Structures are given as structure tokens and as C-alpha cells.
């Protein structure tokens, strides 16, 4: 049963990713990516990483994709169709480069012996355990992310403000 | 005795899945000319790496990997906000989101 769910989620993820990069309309790309992220969250749940699964839905499918959708709608790309022609060959070269990359990485993964399986029967992805880790061992990086976020916020506001 | 996903699905299959996702993202970055789609492909690559980190973390029974994934998500959120801000500025200046419109530095 686990196996069937895994293959189903993996199939949805890959089809969503392909739809993201091959659909002509940017809006469909965004929606396909949302589907991909939901399937990926299911994979996290299968791995018993509940905290990461929930944060993934909130941050990616919630915040980031809404931002993308907002930008796509705001730019209204269907009316300003750009007429810049590019080399058609480059599209096939891109696909070939991707397949070559998959081959190289696959060979690398095949040639490497994966680490031995640890004790993974216990709960290790719950909010309780990760919260304790975040506020003990990883306290300084956790506080520094707040500096990063405030800097980003100020930067974006300054960047996109219209000049008088 | 609680069951683990790795009893039925070996770690190799998670490695292969994230490898495929990473390469799809790379094809998207190389192939598409729409800046927004290129940006989404980068997100896809980041997510492939996140999936691999969580899979290894669950496989080893070590929650540190999942904390790391959390930090990657925070940085990705900041990156998306800033990147889309830059994209809006580019659109305002050149009235296009095609990457070929940005060739002022070409010569």
C-alpha cells in the first residue's frame, strides 16, 4: 500500500513538474507547480516528516505560489505578447543537456554506496522534536533568519517603490 | 514496532525521484525564455534537493536534516520575494519578461 501511494505521488510530482516547464501559459505553469508541491508534501508525510510537510504547504503552496500567481496576473502577459524570436535549436539542446545531467547524476548515485539505514522507526519529524532542536542547537541560525526576512522585506519595498 | 516507509520503498527510489525533478527544473531553466517560468524552475530544483534531504534524514533517523530543510525554505521564501520584486522592476523598465529583452550588457 505504501508503495502504491509512493508511486502515485511520484507520478503526480513528475507530471506536474513537466507541465510546469512545458505549458505555454504562465498561469497554467503556476497551477501545475501548486499540484507538484501538494504531491511533494504527501511524500514528506510518507517519510514521517510532518513538520516539514505542513510548513511546505503553508510556505510554498500558500505564500510563494500566491506571490507568483499575483505577479502573473499583475503583468497580464497575454496582452503583451513578446515577439522576440530565438533559436529553435536551443530548446532541443536544453532537453539534451538535462538528459545528460540526469545521466551523470544517475551514474554518480549508482556509483556511490548509500549510507546504512539508521534507527528510523522512532518519531523524528514531529513539531515537538524539531521545535526543541530549533530552540536549542539551532537558536542562532533561527534568530538570524528573522534578520534575513526583515532585510528582504525592506529591500523589496525600496526596490519596487515608484520614484517621485 | 512502527512501520517505516523504507521497508517497502528503498532509499534509491527517493534519490531517483529527486534526481528526475532536479533535471526537469534544469531543463526548464535552460529552455524557457519567460523569466517567471525560469524562476519557478529554480524553485523546482530547490524542492528536489529538499526532498532528498528529508529522505536521507528520515532514513538515518536524524532530525537535523529536517531543520536544515526548514532553513532552506526560509531562504527560498526570501529569495522569491526579492526576485519577484526585481522582476517587477525589469518589467517596468523594458516592458517585457522575456530574458532576451535584457541584452543591454551584450556588447
pLDDT the model gives residue B1 = 46
- Say if CB A55 and CB A145 are below 8 A apart: no
User: What is the DSSP annotation of chain A?
Assistant: -HHHHHHHHHHHHHHHHHHHHH-SSHHHHHHHHHHHHHHHHHHHHHTT-HHHHHHHIIIIIIIIHHHHHHHHHHHTTTTS-------SHHHHHHHHHHHHHHHHHHHHHHHSPPPPP---SS--SSHHHHHHHHHHTTHHHHHHHHHHHHHHHHHHHHHHSPP-
The series of mean pLDDT values per 10 residues for chain A, 164 residues long, is 91 95 89 94 91 92 90 74 63 89 90 79 81 91 94 92 74
**Closest C-alpha to A18, from B73, B32, B50, B69:** B32
Q: In this predicted complex, what is the ipTM?
A: 0.90
- What's chain A's average pLDDT? 87
Q: Which residue from A minimizes the CA distance to B100?
A: A84
Could you give the percent of chain A with pLDDT greater than 70?
Answer: 91
Q: In this structure, which CATH number among 2.60.120.260, 3.40.1160.10, 3.55.50.30, 1.10.287.3510 belongs to the domain B11-97?
A: 1.10.287.3510
Please report, for chain B, the start and end positions of each structural domain, with discontinuous segments joined by +: 11-97
- Whether residues B19 and A80 touch (CB distance < 8 A) is answered with no
pLDDT tens digits, residue range A69-100? 999 888 876 654 555 556 678 888 888 999 99
Taking one residue from A and the other from B, the number of pairs with CB-CB distance under 8 angstroms is 239
Given a cut of 70, the residues of chain B with pLDDT beneath it are: 1-2, 106-107
Q: Supply the pTM of this predicted model.
A: 0.89
Using the Cβ of B102 and the Cβ atoms of chain A, whether some distance falls under 8 Å is answered with no
- Whether residues A109 and B44 touch (CB distance < 8 A) is answered with no
Q: Which residue from B minimizes the CA distance to A41?
A: B51
Q: Which residue from A minimizes the CA distance to B17?
A: A10
pLDDT the model gives residue A78 = 61
- Rounded Cα distance, B107 and B90, in Å: 19
Amino acid at each position: 500500500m505504501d508503495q502504491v501511494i509512493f508511486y502515485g505521488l511520484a507520478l503526480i510530482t513528475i507530471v506536474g513538474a513537466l507541465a510546469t516547464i512545458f505549458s505555454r501559459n504562465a498561469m497554467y505553469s503556476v497551477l501545475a507547480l501548486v499540484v507538484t508541491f501538494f504531491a511533494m508534501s504527501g511524500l514528506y508525510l510518507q517519510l514521517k516528516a510532518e513538520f516539514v510537510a505542513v510548513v511546505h504547504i503553508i510556505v510554498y503552496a500558500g505564500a510563494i505560489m500566491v506571490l507568483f500567481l499575483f505577479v502573473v496576473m499583475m503583468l497580464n502577459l497575454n496582452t503583451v505578447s513578446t515577439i522576440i524570436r530565438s533559436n529553435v535549436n536551443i530548446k532541443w539542446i536544453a532537453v539534451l543537456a538535462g538528459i545528460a545531467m540526469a545521466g551523470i547524476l544517475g551514474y554518480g548515485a549508482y556509483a556511490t554506496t548509500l549510507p546504512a539505514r539508521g534507527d528510523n522507526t522512532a518519531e523524528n519529524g514531529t513539531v515537538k522534536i524539531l521545535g526543541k532542536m530549533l530552540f536549542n542547537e539551532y537558536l542562532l541560525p533561527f534568530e538570524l533568519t528573522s534578520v534575513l526576512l526583515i532585510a528582504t522585506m525592506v529591500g523589496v519595498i525600496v526596490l519596487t517603490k515608484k520614484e517621485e | 514496532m512502527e512501520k517505516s516507509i523504507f521497508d517497502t520503498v528503498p532509499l534509491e527510489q527517493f534519490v531517483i525521484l529527486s534526481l528526475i525533478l532536479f533535471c526537469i527544473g534544469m531543463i526548464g531553466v535552460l529552455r524557457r525564455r519567460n523569466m517567471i517560468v525560469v524562476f519557478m524552475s529554480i524553485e523546482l530544483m530547490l524542492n528536489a534537493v529538499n526532498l532528498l534531504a528529508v529522505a536521507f534524514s528520515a532514513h538515518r533517523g536524524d532530525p537535523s536534516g529536517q531543520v536544515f530543510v526548514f532553513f532552506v525554505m526560509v531562504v527560498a521564501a526570501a529569495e522569491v520575494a526579492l526576485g519577484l520584486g526585481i522582476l517587477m522592476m525589469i518589467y517596468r523598465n523594458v516592458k517585457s519578461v522575456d530574458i532576451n529583452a535584457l541584452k543591454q550588457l551584450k556588447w
